[in-house]
A and B are shown apart, each in its own frame.
Chain A
Amino acid sequence: MDYAFFLGCMIPLRSPQLEAAARKDCEILGIGLKEMHGASCCPDPVAIQSLGIETWLTIGARNLCIAEKMGLNVMTICSGCFETLKTVHVMLKRDKRYFDMVNEILGKIGYEFRGTSKVYHITEILSDKKMLEKIKDSVKVPLEGITLASHPGCHLIRPSKILEFDDPERPEVMDKILKTLGAEVKQYAEKVTCCGYCARLNEDIGDNLCEIKFNDLVKNQIDALITVCPACTSQYDLHGRKIARKSDKPMEIPVIHLPEIMALAFGINPKSENMDIMKRAIKPRKLLEKLKIEI
């Protein structure tokens, strides 16, 4: 199955190693990714939406038009992009007045939004029953003896009336995928706690939310926190290191993007042209030791 691959900004420009791992996973699993030439920022569901809803809707619809021209559904590896594009798609299809307004502007630059391309986060594509079988067959280094915790984050699961993905209070899709890779997945109290990245106008919020999260992860003896969004990933990675430095307890828990841990289980060299597992503040040395992977 082919998808129009929507890259966004944070991953391709700041963390290309996450994109590389996702591309390798998709290659192994037979998921075809086609480039969306001309796509812009999704746009950002916080800043741009806060400045002007019409601007946000219209730029989002322009991106979707590119996928429509390709005749493909969209796949993203960022929860922010997923939230924006899916919300734009769903809301414009529900609201004729805004649908027409957006198309009036887009028409002047040669686009027409029809709403024919659906929007998926990679997690949804990977969690398909047949895909899980394929994943199981592709595992070369089972994550046995490893305890993981998943962080679905807010913009993958809420609001469920629009995103229609997983249980918004007790999410389990990510866990299903991680179990298929051979890992033990622990349920923990702060699983659906927000990372605070989007509340960036007050830094205390992010600091405190991350501390709550890490305290719970340490209590549960988690080997790595698995994320599906570049914002959550960098938020926890940077705050995690800060918290660990302040604390006298061992608090260093690496934060790893789902496609990266999958590539690791698929036997991909962790420091190669396909991924770079050490490119983060909290290095997953202990995790690699447990898996007997040398770099």
Chain B
Amino acid sequence: MEKTQEIIKSTDLISDLRYQISNQIGAKSLLACIQCGICSSSCTVSEYIDLQPHRVVACLLLGLKDKILNSNAIWYCSLCHRCTERCPKNVDYSFILALLRNMAVKEGNMPPEYEITINNLLEHGFTVPYAGMMKKSIDRNREKFNLPEIVTPNLEEIEFIVKETGLKKILEDAKKGKKKEVKT
């Protein structure tokens, strides 16, 4: 089979991409990667992804942001942490992947499944809805087992944290972006 070679232009490289990630919590070890590939050979979802873990790291070190963010590798990870467990240089790949997901989300790529989860957290304090008929059925179920009543956390505090950490704005921007898309 003929192999087509991909040509990467130097102007496409974002030279400080690696530091944008490695400056964040738990990701300093990124710079220690030796491209041994043990992460890829340990990966639970390797047959489903279009960019193997060690290639994701290589792209990150090179500065190929779009190649990473357009890959399904950042979303299909099952978070089994086998890559992190086995890395001889202590690179925490699964944590780095979370940071890459954060980066994608900031650019407006928010999986609807995750949006539901954060909205539940904001509205109920839990990832499972706890209001109205749902609440009644949950309470009845808990009574059967003589379990203590559920106390909803202070939702203002949760909202304050989501706002202060910048996620609230990202959520609002994502909503606006969607409305625009619908219009056009």
Contacts and interface: CB of A to CB of B under 8 A. Distances in A.
A218 interface: no
A55 B165 contact: yes
Interface string B139-181: 0011011111011011001101110111100100000000000
Among B48, B126, B142: residue with most chain A CB under 10 A: B126
B145 A160 contact: no
Contacts of B127: 9-10, 41, 43-44, 47
A51 B114 contact: yes
B45 interface: yes
Q: How large is the interface on B (under 10, 10 to 19, 20 to 34, 35 or more residues)?
A: 35 or more
Contacts of A161: 84, 90
B24 to A, nearest CB: 7
A13 B24 contact: no
A205 interface: yes
Given A20-B145, A199-B76, A202-B76, A159 B25 contact: no
Contacts of B62: none
A50 B121 contact: no
Among A16, A105, A273, A276: residue with most chain B CB under 10 A: A16
Given A38-B151, A40-B126, A199-B45, A48 B117 contact: yes
Among A23, A48, A274: residue with most chain B CB under 10 A: A48
Contacts of B90: 161
A105 B168 CA distance: 14
B99 interface: yes
Contacts, number: 185
Interface string B76-118: 1111111011000010101000110110010000110110011
Given A37-B151, A95-B25, A51 B80 contact: no
Nearest to B105: A51
Interface residues of A, number: 65
B162 A55 contact: yes
B147 A12 contact: yes
Nearest to B81: A158
Contacts of A52: 102, 105, 165-167, 170
Interface stretch (A57-65, A220-228, A250-258, A281-289): A57-65
A168 interface: yes
Among A35, A59, A106: residue with most chain B CB under 10 A: A59
Interface of B: 24-26, 44-45, 48, 72, 75-82, 84-85, 90, 92, 94, 98-99, 101-102, 105, 110-111, 113-114, 117-118, 121, 125-128, 130, 138, 141-142, 144-148, 150-151, 153-154, 157-158, 160-162, 164-167, 170
Top 4 A-B pairs, shortest CB-CB distance? A199-B78, A47-B117, A158-B81, A20-B145
